[in-house]
Amino acid sequence: MLTPGFDLGKVSVFMVKDSLSPASIANNLETCFIGQRIIYYPTLASTMEVARQEAQMGAVEGTVILADEQTAGRGRLKRVWLSPKGSIALSVILYPDVAYLPSLIMLASLAVVHSIEAITGLKSQIKWPNDVLVNGKKVCGILVESEVQGNSVDYAIVGIGINVNIRLSHFPDIVSTATSLSDELGRDVSRLDVIRHLLVEMERLYLTLPAGGSVYEEWRDRIVTLGKRVQISSGKTRYDGIAESAARDGSLLLRLSDGGLIKIVAGDVTLRD
């Protein structure tokens, strides 16, 4: 959404309107439940914690916790996730059947990839297990957490962080591995447009799961990691091999140098090219 900015002589400069009010996101949003309730915070430690509390209190499915800025954003394995102003940080509360839990990271990754491409035209790839890359650098991280009792899911939370309008040169710790949509394009991007597209895509893909939709196949086909030599660390153990495929349960199939094939579960591993 563009609004007139200021006039520089003959050149009119337009600024991207970037208010993240719940009303601006939910207005005519083409979903039935995801994003129909949005709880917004200008600043929050982590949207994951608030989402957990809301889910424990029985929040309606599709409730979104959204923060303009997180002060203690986190990734897998309790790693720090930087989400300054200009980024997107949100968590979506879902109550899926236990059979669909492995599909959540897949559909969230695809929803991000589709949204980036639709709003910016940038091509993006999925890096197993939980990242989205643009031009080989991380633009998005996804964290799925769930509470399960036996075969029954109490709740699942899908946390998504996207670097939208961030100058990575201000973040030396991650500048070599991370990028943002604005750094790639050389202009700012409407976070509102990205979020609205993302919520619609997430719901569309989520609703295809019971009919056995093609979320898994598209996710697998978009994993940039496949066919590459990688190192996987799990605690003190390290595996080197070729990432051969990714299975329906979300795990990575790694071909070792002795010809053996092992299954790597995302939970506690680190992957390096």
The DSSP bridge pattern shows strands 269-272 and 237-246 to be unpaired
How far apart (Å, rounded) are the C-alpha atoms in residues 148 and 33? Answer: 22
Q: Residue 174 binds which one of ligand BTN, ligand ATP, none, with CB within 5 to 8 A depending on kind? A: ligand ATP
CA dihedral 203, 205, 210, 212 (to 10 degrees): 180
Nearer to ligand ATP, 35 or 129 (CB): 129
- Contacts with ligand ATP in 63-102 (CB under 6 A)? 75-77, 79-82
Give the full edge-to-edge strand order of the sheet including 88-94.
38-44, 64-70, 88-94, 152-162, 137-149, 131-134, 125-127
Pick from 16, 35, 47, 50 the residue near ligand BTN by CB under 6 A: 47
Instruction: Kindly state whether residue 161 participates in binding ligand BTN, applying the rule CB under 6 A.
Output: yes
Instruction: Kindly state whether residue 159 participates in binding ligand BTN, applying the rule CB under 6 A.
Output: yes
Q: Reduced to 3 states, what is the DSSP secondary structure of residue 164?
A: coil
Pick from 110, 178, 189, 198 the residue near ligand ATP by CB under 6 A: 178
How far apart (Å, rounded) are the C-alpha atoms in residues 196 and 185? Answer: 20
Instruction: Kindly state whether residue 271 participates in binding ligand ATP, applying the rule CB under 6 A.
Output: yes
Q: Residue 252 binds which one of ligand BTN, ligand ATP, none, with CB within 5 to 8 A depending on kind? A: none
How far apart (Å, rounded) are the C-alpha atoms in residues 107 and 100? Answer: 10
Instruction: Kindly state whether residue 63 participates in binding ligand BTN, applying the rule CB under 6 A.
Output: no
We find the least distance from the C-beta atom of residue 136 to ligand BTN, in angstroms, to be 16
Q: Cα 259 from chain centroid?
A: 34
Q: Are 126 and 132 in contact (CB under 8 A)?
A: yes
We find the least distance from the C-beta atom of residue 81 to ligand ATP, in angstroms, to be 4
Instruction: Kindly state whether residue 142 participates in binding ligand BTN, applying the rule CB under 6 A.
Output: yes
Pick from 63, 70, 109, 179 the residue near ligand BTN by CB under 6 A: 70
Strand positions, DSSP E, 71-207: 88-94, 125-127, 131-134, 137-149, 152-162
How far apart (Å, rounded) are the C-alpha atoms in residues 66 and 50? Answer: 10
How far apart (Å, rounded) are the C-alpha atoms in residues 75 and 85? Answer: 18
Q: Residue 74 binds which one of ligand ATP, ligand BTN, none, with CB within 5 to 8 A depending on kind? A: ligand BTN
The DSSP bridge pattern shows strands 38-44 and 64-70 to be parallel
- Contacts with ligand BTN in 88-127 (CB under 6 A)? 89-91
Instruction: Kindly state whether residue 35 participates in binding ligand BTN, applying the rule CB under 6 A.
Output: no
Instruction: Kindly state whether residue 251 participates in binding ligand ATP, applying the rule CB under 6 A.
Output: no
Q: Reduced to 3 states, what is the DSSP secondary structure of residue 138?
A: strand
**Residues that bind ligand BTN in the complex, under the rule CB under 6 A:** 46-48, 70, 73-76, 79, 81, 83, 89-91, 130-131, 141-143, 159-161
Enumerate binding residues for ligand ATP (CB under 6 A): 75-77, 79-82, 130-131, 138, 141, 161, 163, 174, 178, 270-271
